[in-house]
Structure 1
Amino acid sequence: MKKVTLLCMLVFCQVIFSFNKITETEKLAATCKVWGFLKYYHPAVASGELNWDNQLLEKLPLIEKAQTKEEFSLILENWIDDLGPVKEVAPIIIPKDVEFFDKNFDLSWFNNKLFSKKLSKKLKFIEENRFQSEEEFGMGFDALKKTKNYFDLDYTNKGSRMVMLFAYWNLIEYYFPYKYVMDQKWDITLEQALPMALENKDEDSFYLTMRKLAARLNDSHARFAVYGSYAKTGVSSYSYFPARGKIIDNKIVITEILGDSLAQADNIKIGTVITKIGGKTIKELVEEKRNLISASNEAAYLDRVAFSILISEFDKVNVEFLKDGKYETKAMTWFDYHDSHRNEFKKGAIKKKEKFKLLDNNIGYVDMGEIKPKNVPDMIEALKATKAIVFDMRNYPNDTWKEISDFLNLKKKDFVHTQCPI
């Protein structure tokens, strides 16, 4: 009977221990959120004076050793206490005429099942007595808090990978305006990225993880650019197909020639159809790169992936073409923009376009991607008597909004409202 009782007690203890035991991913996900929250909210940290990255590196070994929720919470509690007391401030008065955008705001994780009540209470107190600054949130605002260049870190080290991942995830968590319309919740993306980052052993594999993380933003403006890191990733330069194209019906149709003589050598013209590159169909390449490229919608993704597909790490590339119902594979030589063909590519890529012109039926046309502020007076003079003007904004305008709006409107009008984090 005693043996049975002892056995039951052992089983019971194991069940309780298993219930309290937490995984490394759970610990790191929770730590990432606490670290980021303190970075932007705690008065002793948000000023940017502390080396907050180093503090994370110091705490990670302790967090790794924590086996239970209680041990884990205690580490975070002590970390907060070590930062010093947080002064209680007067309640923040919200002006009646201020409208808040709170679709991205969610601190409900304070009540994480891994946290003790004491830890949750500390976090809530910091939120209510948070760091406040008169700093303007303009182009010079440093959301990374005076940090060093994260690309200088040694990513063979697990701690360095966590610092980079945590910093990037929290930057998006607190400052990315379109987080609420992502295809996948940003919390889930963190949970998926952490195991990959833990397994990564070198810079190449970690950069790939970060590209996958950035792709989840679903924003065509977003790309994880590894500045100057091609030597690190083993690629010193890239080679390019001598033309640009669009993806139509799972094929690439050439729409612009970049290198005239190179294109002529392989009989590539506007309208040339490509069906395979490097032995893979265009459809296969499109799907292969889907989790590496961030885009706002499918059309934007296809546009960006087409550019990516026409770049190679190799200068010898097999390309399959379709012409008159027949398939032909050519062993092509692709060239780096920085080699002897640079001027030709440059000339082909920057073909002059008209800034504005008169269309049929006395309709004016303005290419907002080409016209500059100094050109606006000439545009106004040329098109002011037209029946209508088409302002083509399928591009990036060149800061001409004021000159053009002054021409179109007799009185001042609101045309944009901006919001800043507080």
Structure 2
Amino acid sequence: MNVDFIHSQQNLSETQRLASLGKIYGFLKYYHPEVAKGKFNWDQEFLEKMPQVMNATNKVSLSKVYLNWINGLGTIKKCRRCDANENHFNKNFDLSWTQDTTLFTNELASKLKYIEKNRNQQKNFYVTNERVGKIKVTNEPTYNDFEFPDEEYRLLGLFKYWNIIEYFYPYKYLTDQPWDEVLLEMIPKYRKTSNKKDYHLTIAELIAKLDDTHARIGLSAKRSKYLPVKISHIENKAVISGFYNDSIAQQNNLKLGDIILKINDVEVQAEVEENLKYVAGSNKNGKIKNTYNRIFNGIEKSVELTIKRNDEIEDLRVNRYDFNDFNYGKDSIDIKSKSINNQVGYINMGTLKFEDVADVFESFENKKSIIIDLRNYPDFIYKYVTRFLNTEKKDFSKLYTPDINYPSRFTFKDNLKTLRSRKAFEGKIILVVNEETVSRAEFTAMAFQTAENVITVGNQTAGADGDVVVFEYLGGYKTSMSGNGISYPNGMETQRKGIRIDIKVTPTINGLRQGRDEVLEKALEIANQ
């Protein structure tokens, strides 16, 4: 019996059909020259086609729906520029689904291939490139009062988001779960949500699947309140590792090195396991740290914590605060730089300003070592600082940006370079990093790692680099993702992995209790050698 005939008669599941609709909707939106001009109310087109897709039970009837749709969109002219060879980053590119003849007829597959080969080369109504390369989502309809929309709009929101990631997220190829599988998994979940809370959790679960610390979404208008402490994942425990405000933490009887065992009488580990899938993060440590933020902060004014301090277990009623109450970083007297001893200087990149740089390096010109602390979020001054670290310009990063004229392909840009000076510092440079070294701090570290005599000390950084893209999820919710691809010049990835570390040092609970900065101690030891 003819195999094609058998496939043409086999019923397709509702999830298969809806997934194909989501893909066709996005493909035509970004590839079809007439659709890309904004000539159609594209969301309305989707809503009109959805019932037809649900009624088309096999590939023949399904393909007919799509062929009729495409044929009604206008003639596609032959593209003379589409065959030009460009230096593309192709790890995210895969349009093989358009040629799946178990799902589509040969006629439809050929039509989709023709659209790819003669794709839009003009401005796209729905997306453009910003100056730095990342995309800007444009001209999307505004949907107000859509906190829990009907099923077709829930699916529309899913498909709009899925396609933005499919075609313009530079790190799609690094996600734990293949993006195609995410679509098939999430369609039934979006369909069966029965209330606003479940719907919001489902959206959060989708965003978390980017495995990107830059991936966030604001689903509540209520302002969260915060504990006055930083909580890190140390020795597989939730540990107080720093203060947002020392005096407020002291008022609540919280100390460095306290291990939090329970929150409101529920085991912290159980809370982490329940919430982990709703929280984005580039690596395991980042996901857990962000999950701690989710479970320990909230709208309630206080929480009950069970802590372990040394060998004693205590129950504490701890207040939460508006983050502005901490004046975190505003009343800071943190130094920009200091001379640790005759041989070693220290720079805090979190407080250093452009106008300070030349004077600081001039004051350190006779030092044998400089420790540069990047456990913070620095100003955008990395390039100027490299003038004092390098005697020649050096490549420090490879960059690739979304190609909106060939969506899902990315274009390599010229390698990013440092500055140089004949008066660059000649001694040893020790970079200090940890999980709070994120995004711009990681980018800065990569540039500083080109110095002649540099050592990087600390523990895994956030693994989230590349300019952030902010756009709307259907319903007016602000969401974000990493927008440009960043790697070392040799192609070694920093996304998810973090920057290269030469000497790994992880803080310990005992060290925190003793008030020690073990990472900085190691840096100082190296500097004094």
Bigger drift between 19-28 and 101-110 goes to: 19-28
**Pairing 1:27–2:17 present:** yes
Distance 2:397 2:278 in 1: 32
Distance 1:242 1:412 in 2: 43
Tell me what 1:107 maps to: 95
Bigger drift between 165-174 and 62-71 goes to: 62-71
Distance 2:380 2:249 in 1: 35
Tell me what 2:215 maps to: 222
Structure 2 CA distance for partners of 1:176 and 1:26, relative to 1, 3 Å: same
Q: What per-residue deviation string (whole Å, max 9, x for no partner) do you get for residues 167-186 of structure 1?
A: 11111111111111211101
What is the alpha-carbon root mean square deviation over aligned residues? Answer: 2.8
Distance 2:29 2:345 in 1: 52
Structure 2 CA distance for partners of 1:364 and 1:216, relative to 1, 3 Å: same
Distance 2:311 2:173 in 1: 46
3-state SS of 2:305 partner: strand
Q: Does structure 2 conserve the Cα–Cα contact (< 8 Å) formed by 1:182 and 1:218?
A: yes
**Pairing 1:179–2:184 present:** no
Higher Rg of the two aligned structures: 1
What amino acid is aligned across from residue 68 of structure 2 in structure 1? N
3-state SS of 2:398 partner: coil
Tell me what 2:514 maps to: none
3-state SS of 1:189 partner: helix
Q: What per-residue deviation string (whole Å, max 9, x for no partner) do you get for residues 29-75 of structure 1?
A: 11111111111111112234533222212221222222222221111
**Pairing 1:359–2:345 present:** no
Distance 2:80 2:29 in 1: 21
Tell me what 2:490 maps to: none
Structure 2 CA distance for partners of 1:380 and 1:265, relative to 1, 3 Å: closer
Q: Does structure 1 conserve the Cα–Cα contact (< 8 Å) formed by 2:302 and 2:318?
A: yes
3-state SS of 1:365 partner: strand
Bigger drift between 205-214 and 103-112 goes to: 205-214
Deviation at 1:280, TM superposition (A): 1.8
3-state SS of 1:353 partner: coil
Tell me what 1:162 maps to: 155
Distance 1:296 1:286 in 2: 16
What amino acid is aligned across from residue 11 of structure 2 in structure 1? K
Question: Which residue, out of 319, 322, 333, partners 1:337?
Answer: 322
- Identity among equivalent pairs (%): 35
Q: Does structure 2 conserve the Cα–Cα contact (< 8 Å) formed by 1:260 and 1:348?
A: no
Distance 2:338 2:269 in 1: 39
Distance 1:166 1:403 in 2: 43
**Pairing 1:294–2:283 present:** no
Tell me what 2:369 maps to: 388
Distance 1:394 1:36 in 2: 40
Distance 2:302 2:367 in 1: 52
Structure 2 CA distance for partners of 1:396 and 1:333, relative to 1, 3 Å: closer
Deviation at 1:209, TM superposition (A): 1.0
Q: What per-residue deviation string (whole Å, max 9, x for no partner) do you get for residues 292-348 of structure 1?
A: 112121222232222223213433422112234232223x2533407xxx53x2258
Deviation at 1:381, TM superposition (A): 2.4
3-state SS of 1:255 partner: strand
TM-score scaled by length of structure 2: 0.68
Q: Map of 1:128-167 to 2, 5 A cutoff? A: 128-133=117-122, 136-138=129-131, 143-149=136-142, 153=146, 155-167=148-160
Deviation at 1:214, TM superposition (A): 1.3
Q: Structure 1: which 5+ residue stretches go unaligned?
A: 1-15, 231-235
Q: Does structure 2 conserve the Cα–Cα contact (< 8 Å) formed by 1:237 and 1:313?
A: yes
Greater relative contact order: 1 or 2 (C-alpha under 8 angstroms, separation 6 or more)?
2
TM-score scaled by length of structure 1: 0.84
**Pairing 1:60–2:53 present:** no
Structure 2 CA distance for partners of 1:301 and 1:216, relative to 1, 3 Å: same
Distance 1:167 1:151 in 2: 16
Q: Does structure 2 conserve the Cα–Cα contact (< 8 Å) formed by 1:156 and 1:202?
A: no
Structure 2 CA distance for partners of 1:406 and 1:93, relative to 1, 3 Å: farther
Distance 1:78 1:389 in 2: 68
Deviation at 1:190, TM superposition (A): 0.9
Distance 1:150 1:293 in 2: 25
3-state SS of 2:327 partner: helix
Distance 1:199 1:170 in 2: 21
Tell me what 2:384 maps to: 403
Q: What per-residue deviation string (whole Å, max 9, x for no partner) do you get for residues 63-110 of structure 1?
A: 222222222111111111111111112253434xx4321111000001
Structure 2 CA distance for partners of 1:86 and 1:383, relative to 1, 3 Å: same
Q: Structure 2: which 5+ residue stretches go unaligned?
A: 1-5, 407-529
Task: Pick the structure with more strand per residue.
Answer: 2
Question: Which residue, out of 212, 234, 244, partners 2:230?
Answer: 244
Bigger drift between 406-415 and 317-326 goes to: 406-415
Distance 2:251 2:130 in 1: 52
What amino acid is aligned across from residue 344 of structure 2 in structure 1? I
